[in-house]
Structure 1
Amino acid sequence: MYPPPHAYTPAPLPRPSRRWWQHPALVITALVLLPPVGIALAWTSQWERTQKILATVLSGVWFLIPLLSDPPEKAGTEDKPRAAAAVSVSPTPSSSPTPAPAPTPSAAPQMPSAVGWPYAQAEQAVEDLIGSELKAMSAYADVTLPADHGSWLVCFQDVAAGSGLVPQSAAPVVHLVAPGTDCPAAPGTNLRPEPVAPAPAPTTAPTTAPAPDDGTGGSGGGNVSYKNCAAVRAAGAAPIRRGEPGYGRHLDRDGDGVGCES
């Protein structure tokens, strides 16, 4: 018998050439400095599978250690509030009382009813609301308001009670009378009215009595005279009768007392 032929053993395949990014030194440096990049390069290298897994685990742990640990400066800042709270000293009460805040004018003040008040009281009440001066005038036109009129009484106010006041532009006015003096019916009235002069007596014009008819043909009254009936008619006095101004016998031809009849 012939001996059995030798078993055929295939020749090993040639390993591919290594690229520059597959160099072990470069892969290890990336695993230490940039673990995600290093892991990617390790799996593209020509390392054994076991080596790739081991490099991935070690690089991942190296990458997660700084993320999971607390930074040292954070621990120091947490201790600062506790230390400050421990050394805080309770404040000692002040011997002087705290002054109360001054009242501020209302945002929408309303005019008070100041009628009957002394001017000093009305002035304080209004000026606390608007922050400006309350103007005062005499209620009587013929009475002069003195410089010291704080005790004079308010008779009228130009802004009705309850009306809103604008602090920036409000300028209310009050009209005053002296204590013991009644208020007038309206501001500007005279306390002492001027006397009324008596009306002059009517004069009547003197009347001239008609001159009696003496039968000579003269005028019948006053200074009126007519030359003829044409003048009488032109004056609108025809017919003219005895006793009327201007009557004359030369105008009455028939002597019946009526001249210029036609």
Structure 2
Amino acid sequence: MRIPRHFAPVVLLGVLALAGCEGGTETDDSAPATPPTATPTASATPTASPTATATATPDPVMPALHGRTYEQARAELTRQDISAARLTATAQHKDVTLPGDHDGWYICDAGPGRGTRLAADATVTVRLAKDFSDCTTSFHGYLHQKNDPAYVPPTTAAPKPKPKPTATRAPAPAPTKAPTKPAGGSMTTCSDGKQGYACTSNGHPVVDGQFCPKADRGRTLMATNRTMVTCSYDPSITPYRWQ
């Protein structure tokens, strides 16, 4: 179709307007892109490491010291990490003085008791005797009865005067000597008030199997069970016993 020349500019403007509507709005690719905003992350809170708890060392236990010498007791305490400086000693009897060198003396009693926990400030007290057999001898706390203030010696009755023979009477025949009985064969009363068939040098009845004093070692006497026993040493039994 031929368009008259005088309508050409109008047609051109209409075509351009239509082209603008169809293209829409263009985006400028030359503009710099907006960088994405970084989201702040929460910082990790450091976790405290657990503190190691120190384990308390238990208190040592009191060992068995009865029957041992003072030197053996000191070595046993040292072996169980108990300071020997905590050990104190005293005599078992009131009438005995503990010498400076008492390592060979025997322990009759010890405190606190066996198995007791020993605190840091606790002390160990032992009571000593020179002979272990003396541990069982006590006269109100005294080793020798004569040293006991409560002891009263028995009174000895004065002998009766012998009658004078008269001229008319013949002198009485000399009494025949009774046969000697075995040692301890007759009933007797020991100084401690107990009845037995013989008395030890400490004044106790002789009992078969019991400890015997040092002064009686080698003596043979009749025990309360009517058997003859000797104060002798047996390597399996310490110290000396009536056997």
Q: Same fold (TM over 0.5)?
A: no
Higher strand proportion (structure 1 or 2): 2
Higher radius of gyration, 1 or 2:
1
- Report which of the two has the higher share of helix: 1
